[in-house]
Amino acid sequence: MQYGPDPNSIYPNEKIKSVCYIKNVITRPNIIVGDYTYYDDISGAERFEEHVTHHYEFLSDKLIIGKFCAIAKGIEFIMNGANHRMCSVTTYPFNIMGHGWEKATPVLEDLPFKGDTVVGNDVWIGQNVTVMPGMHIGDGAIVAANSVVTKDIPAYHIAGGNPVRIINKRFDDDLIGYLLELKWWDWPTHKIFDNLDILCSGDLTRIKEIK
């Protein structure tokens, strides 16, 4: 029996080519994406990697995205390679222009490094969102369209703006704690299939009926 789309397909629905499972189109080893997470872009959803910029292997930073995330078109993950030296008089990157200016190549210790960028599970990111280096977006979070994520967003919170600010919690603390322990995204496919009506219900008390 089939319990949903194949997580190893590029297009979960062959009739909708604007939606692509990211895991199956990435080529960079420093991008890690979970099952069922998709990017939606009519201009080429399968070109998701083009929206992860300044990502250089020698810096060793990773973009890690969990399962069941929904990412709208226009996303940009800016990675640590975009950073310039800020401890000197000028931030100008003379070294990359060549022609003798290589002598001003900074040592890595002089460049700001924010670590890995991590997006949790079941995260919804709206259109034209920019995520700055090293940000962490928690499970179940929602990021409003046109936001610039400059600070971490807690699990099951709604955030938006430029710079991003926390707008509200999606649920009360008890339910957030329960969902973080439940981790429905790690269930086997048959259990998710059998409980779709509860997972998609507006009656939040029903989630505690699941055994």
In whole angstroms, what is the distance from residue 91 CA to residue 11 CA? 43
For residue 184, give both structure tokens. Answer: 């429905």
Catalytic residue among 54, 84, 136, 157: 84
Among left, alpha and beta (phi > 0; psi -120 to 50; other), residue 99 is: left
- Choose among 117, 166, 116: nearest CA to 137: 117
R_g of the chain, CA atoms, integer Å: 20
84 is catalytic: yes
CA 172 to centroid of chain Cα atoms: 24
Q: Which residues are catalytic?
A: 84
